Structure 1
Amino acid sequence: MTARKVGAIIMDASIIKFFLVIAIVVIAGCMQKVKSGKQLAKTYCSNCHLFPEPSLLDKITWKNNVLPAMGKLLGAQQLDLHPFEESDRIISHQEFSISAEDWKQLVKYYTDEAPAKLPPQSRSPITNLTDWFIVEKKSIREFPTTTFLKIDPGNKWIYAAGRDSVLEIFDHRLNKVSNNFSSGILSDMFFTSDLKNPGDRKGVCTNIGIMDPNDLKTGSVSVFTIGSNGKLLAKNLFDTLARPVQTISSDLNADNVADYLLCNFGNKDGNFSWMQNIGNEQYIQKILEPLPGSIRAYVEDMDHDGLQDIIVLFSQANEGIRLYLNKGGGKFSRIELLRFPPVYGSTYFEMVDLNSDGNKDILYTCGDNADYSNILKNYHGIYFFLNMGGYRFEKAYFFPMHGAFKAMARDFNKDGKLDIAAISFFPDRKNQPQEAFVLLEGREGFEFLPHTIKEHSEGHWLTMDAADVDADGDDDIVIGNLVLPNGIGNKKGERIPTFLLLRNNKN
Structure 2
Amino acid sequence: MKTLCFFAALPLVVVMGCSGKSSVDRSSSPEKPAAASSSASADSADDTSDTASHANESAVALAESGNDLAITPAVAALMSDAEVEQFVALMRPKVNAFCGDCHVPPRPTSSSQAEWRDEVEQGFMLYRTSGRKDLEVPDQDDVLKYFQLQAPKRLELPVSIDDYPPSPIAMRVSEVFFKDSRPSGITNLKWMEIGMKDSPAIVYCDIGTGAVKAHWPQEEGAPTLRLATLFQPVHVEACDLDADGNLDLIVADIGEFNADDSDLGQVIWLRRVDGEERFEKIVLQDGLSRVSDVRPGDFDGDGDIDLLVAAFGWRKTGRTFLLQNEGVDQKKDKPFSLREVDDRHGPVHVPPVDLNNDGHLDFVALISQDQEVVAAFINDGTGKFEDHVLYQAPDPAYGSSGIELVDMDGDGDLDVLYTNGDSFDRGPKPYHSVQWLENQGSFPYQHHSLALMPGVLNATAGDFDGDGDQDVVAVSLLAKPVRDSLKGRDTSSVVLLRQQPKFKFSPFQIEAKTHQHLSVESGDFDDDGDLDIAVGNFLREGSPQLSDLKIWWNTAEKQ
**TM-score, normalised with respect to structure 2:** 0.74
Per-residue deviation, residues 178-202 of structure 1 (Å, max 9, x unmatched): 22442321111111269xxxx9532
* Shift in alpha-carbon separation, 1:378–1:484, aligned structure 2, 3 A: same
Q: Which residues of structure 2 form unaligned runs of 5+?
A: 1-79
CA distance in 2, matches of 1:220, 1:121: 40
**Displacement of 1:339:** 0.9
Specify the alignment match of 2:153 in structure 1.
116
State the partner residue of 2:401: 347
**Offset from partner CA, 1:56-102 (integer Å, 9 cap, x none):** 22111112x32121121122xxxxxxxxxxxxx5xx97779665x62
Q: Distance in 1 between matches of 2:131 and 2:359?
A: 50
8 A contact 1:346–1:367 mirrored in 2: yes
8 Å CA contact retained: 2:212, 2:230 = no
Shift of 1:157: 2.1
Matched, 1:220 2:272: no
Between stretches 169-178 and 376-385, larger displacement belongs to 169-178
Equivalent positions of 1:359-438 (< 5 A) are 359-371=413-425, 373-374=426-427, 376-426=428-478, 429-431=486-488, 433-438=490-495
Quote how far apart the aligned CAs of 1:390 are. 1.8
**Pair 1:286 & 2:355 matched:** no
Aligned counterparts of 1:149 and 1:306: Cα–Cα separation in 2: 29
Q: Quick one: distance in 2 between partners of 1:361 and 1:60?
A: 38
Residue 230 of structure 1: CA displacement?
Answer: 4.7
What are the equivalent positions in structure 2 for 1:441-452 lying under 5 Å apart?
441-452=498-509
> Is 1:190–2:221 an aligned residue pair?
no
Counterpart position of 1:61: 115
Deviation of 1:55 (Å):
1.5
The residue number in structure 2 matching 1:166 is: 211
Q: Identity rate of aligned residues, in percent?
A: 24
Does the alignment pair 1:461 with 2:495? Answer: no
1:365 touches 1:406 (CA, 8 Å); kept in 2? Answer: yes
Q: What is the distance in 1 between the residues matched to 2:515 and 2:276? A: 30
CA distance in 2, matches of 1:117, 1:27: 20
Which consecutive unaligned segments of at least 5 residues does structure 1 have? 1-25, 76-88
Conserved? CA contact 2:120–2:140, under 8 Å:
no
Bigger relative contact order (CA 8 A; separation at least 6):
2
Deviation of the 1:301 alpha carbon? 1.6
Residue 12 of structure 1 corresponds to none
Assess if the C-alpha contact under 8 Å between 1:147 and 1:185 holds in 2: no
The secondary structure found in structure 2 opposite 1:347 is strand
Partner of 2:223: 176
| Closer/same/farther in 2, CA of residues 70 and 186 from structure 1, 3 Å limit | same
1:169/1:28 CA distance change after superposition, 3 Å: closer
Q: Cα gap change, 1:432/1:405 in structure 2, threshold over 3 Å: closer, same or farther? A: farther
Whole-Å separation in 1 of the counterparts to 2:253 and 2:157: 38
2:172 paired residue among 123, 134, 137: 134
Moved more, 397-406 or 169-178: 169-178
1:360–1:160 CA distance, 2 compared to 1 (3 A): closer
Deviations 1:141-197 (A, max 9, x none): 562222222223662422233121122322215633422442321111111269xxx
Aligned twin of 2:199:
155
Note the C-alpha offset of 1:430: 2.6
- Tell me which residue corresponds to 1:78: none
Task: After TM superposition, give the deviation of residue 468 of structure 1 in Å.
Answer: 1.8
Whether the 8 Å CA contact 1:178–1:230 is kept in 2: the answer is: no
Instruction: Tell me: CA distance 1:139–1:98, structure 2 relative to 1, closer, same or farther (3 Å).
Output: farther
For 2:492, what is the secondary structure of its paired residue? helix
Aligned to 1:145: 185
What are the superposed Cα offsets for residues 356-402 of structure 1, whole Å, 9 maximum, x if unpaired?
A: 2222212110000112x22x312101011211222231123330000
Q: Distance in 2 between matches of 1:155 and 1:226?
A: 17
Alpha-carbon separation, structure 2, partners of 1:34 and 1:452? 42
SS in 1 for 2:429: coil
Give how far 1:348 is off. Answer: 0.8
Q: Give the distance between the partners of 2:238 and 2:267, measured in 1 at CA.
A: 13
State the alpha-carbon separation in 1 of the partners of residues 499 and 225 from structure 2. 37
Structure 2 CA distance for aligned equivalents of residues 302 and 449 of structure 1: 29
What letter corresponds to residue 109 of structure 1 in structure 2? Answer: Y
1:228-268 residue CA offsets vs partner (Å, 9 max, x unmatched): 87533221111111110111111112111221110001111
Q: What is the CA–CA distance in structure 2 between the aligned matches of 1:106 and 1:459, rounded to whole Å?
A: 35
Amino acid at match of 1:108: K
The farther-off stretch of 225-234 and 464-473 is 225-234
Residue 475 (structure 1) aligned with residue 554 (structure 2): no
Separation (CA, whole Å) in 2 of partners of 1:51 and 1:93: 21
Q: What one-letter code is carried by the residue in structure 2 that aligns with 1:338?
A: Y
* Closer/same/farther in 2, CA of residues 500 and 330 from structure 1, 3 Å limit: closer
Find the partner of 2:540 among 484, 489, 507: 484
> Counterparts in 2 of 1:323-342, with a 5 A limit?
323-340=376-393, 341-342=395-396
Instruction: Determine the C-alpha separation between the residues in 1 that align with 2:442 and 2:416.
Output: 14
- Of 480, 492, 502, the match for 2:552: 502
CA 1:145–1:401 in structure 2 vs 1: closer, same or farther (change >3 Å)? same
C-alpha change, 1:332 and 1:150, in structure 2 (3 Å) is closer
What does residue 496 of structure 2 align with? Answer: 439
- Equivalent in the alignment of 1:15: none
Distance 1:52 1:158, change over 3 A: same
For 2:127, the aligned partner's letter is: L
Task: Kindly indicate whether the alpha-carbon contact (under 8 Å) linking 1:125 and 1:432 is maintained by their aligned counterparts in 2.
Answer: no
Cα distance in 1 between the residues matched to 2:91 and 2:335? 52
In structure 2, do the counterparts of structure 1 residues 95 and 385 end up closer, same or farther at CA, with 3 Å as the change threshold? closer
Within the candidate set 42, 46, 58, 2:96 is matched to 42
Q: Structure 1 297/424 Cα, relative in aligned 2: closer, same or farther at 3 Å?
A: same
**Aligned CA distance change for structure 1 residues 200 and 308 (closer, same or farther; 3 Å):** closer
Give the CA deviation at 1:406.
Answer: 0.7
Secondary structure in 1 matching 2:553? strand
- The residue type paired with residue 353 of structure 1 is D
Structure of greater Rg: 1
2:311, 2:318 within 8 Å by CA — same for their partners in 1? Answer: yes
The Cα of 1:33 is off from its aligned counterpart by 4.0
Q: Work out the number of aligned pairs and report it.
A: 452
Distance 1:230 1:503 in 2: 28
CA contact (8 A) 1:40 1:102 kept: no
- The CA RMSD measured in Å over matched residues stands at 2.8
